Amino acid sequence: MAVHAHPDDESSKGAATSARYVDEGAEVLVVTCTGGERGDVLNPGLKDDPHILRDIVEVRREEMAKAAAFLGVQHTWLGFVDSGLPEGDPLPPLPAGCFYLEPLEVATEALVREIRRFRPHVVTTYDENGGYPHPDHVMTNRISEAAFEAAGDPEAYPHAGEPWQPLKLYYIGGFSIDRIRTFHEALVAHGADSPFESWMERAGSRPQRHLTTWVPCSDHFEARDNALRAHATQIDPAGFFFALPNDVQADLWPTEEYELAVSHVPTQEREDDLFAGIPSRLAEADALAQRLGGAEPILDRRAEPTVKEWT
């Protein structure tokens, strides 16, 4: 189960991993917390399209359906309303009724229902700072962590389905500075303009995340790119996602990266599979997940958020 804030996040973060596991026979569910109602049109070629301006909500739903088909994933909407991205100092207030301002227990119960219905062994989401400080990304982390813990507890949300304990929780780490620097240096070496220089400047000396898992998935970069392009309002076809051809990316950086946050199974310091440590026989994995309700995890690296609060 991949838990994301907006339609298009599933295609820009961990998409090739999702497509790989679907191709190998796993069931993959993308949960989108909001409809992306307050997102801007980021594709310069579509900024003045009257249909998009008239009904961005329906357009983004259509884009999501196309992207899910390219990746082969199942998909569900959690049903909350996009919070938008406030800018300014001081930050302006968020709109009433938005996802970030939902009571944590209300939003968590909605995700617990999906976990107990779908019964995933692995959940992926964003780190405690949202991967980047968008209020919906931060809220996605909060409900993912809370639901991961509550889903297996028979006393938590008793009306939200039969308890089910996922075995591993990961943060998506796909925009690591090492990856960005590798792509930047490759472009510069070939005399091409690099869109990544500003990324490295913004990163500066900021501490980097403790990545633990590198999933080989270069065979599925094309599916990832097709899914990205399906989100036509959000993705510039001439943008940084497509700065390097996929065969070059496959040679330079054939993986997508993750940070293992919580695990109920023994782990290694460096993994190449999100299912590492989980019994390979489905019956054994299911039995383990069902008997772990309320058990303390073997590993728990969750941290407190350090981002600004929105009001």
Burial of 199 per CB tally in 10 Å (0-12, 13-18, 19+): middle
For 122, 172, 175, the CA distances from 26, given in Å and listed in that order, are: 11, 19, 25
**Along the chain (311 residues), what's the average pLDDT of each consecutive run of 10 residues?**
98 98 98 94 84 86 98 98 90 94 98 98 96 93 98 97 98 89 93 87 76 97 98 93 95 97 96 97 95 93 75 65
Q: Which two tokens stand for residue 259?
A: 């940070």
pLDDT number for residue 190: 92
Burial of 155 per CB tally in 10 Å (0-12, 13-18, 19+): exposed
pTM of structure: 0.95
pLDDT number for residue 93: 92
d(CA 179, CA 72): 26
pLDDT number for residue 102: 98
The CATH classification number of 2-173+256-290 equals 3.40.50.10320
Binding-site positions: 6, 9, 137
Q: Pairing between strand 2-4 and 74-80?
A: unpaired
d(CA 69, CA 47): 25
Q: Which two tokens stand for residue 146?
A: 């809370």
Sequence ranges of the domains in the chain: 2-173+256-290, 176-208
**Listed residue (147, 105, 104, 103) closest to 125, CA to CA:** 147
pLDDT number for residue 311: 65
pLDDT number for residue 45: 85
Bond preceding residue 297 cis, omega within 30 of 0: no
d(CA 278, CA 112): 21
| Nearest-10 crossing angle of helices 221-230, 56-71 | 170
pLDDT number for residue 40: 86
Binding-site positions for Zn(2+): 6, 9, 137
**Listed residue (79, 67, 83) closest to 113, CA to CA:** 79
Per the rule left: phi > 0, alpha: psi between -120 and 50, beta: everything else, 45 is: alpha
User: Is the Cα torsion angle 217, 176, 213, 109 positive or negative in sign?
Assistant: negative
Provide, for the chain, the percentages of residues in helix, strand and coil under a 3-state DSSP scheme, each rounded to the nearest 5: 40, 15, 45
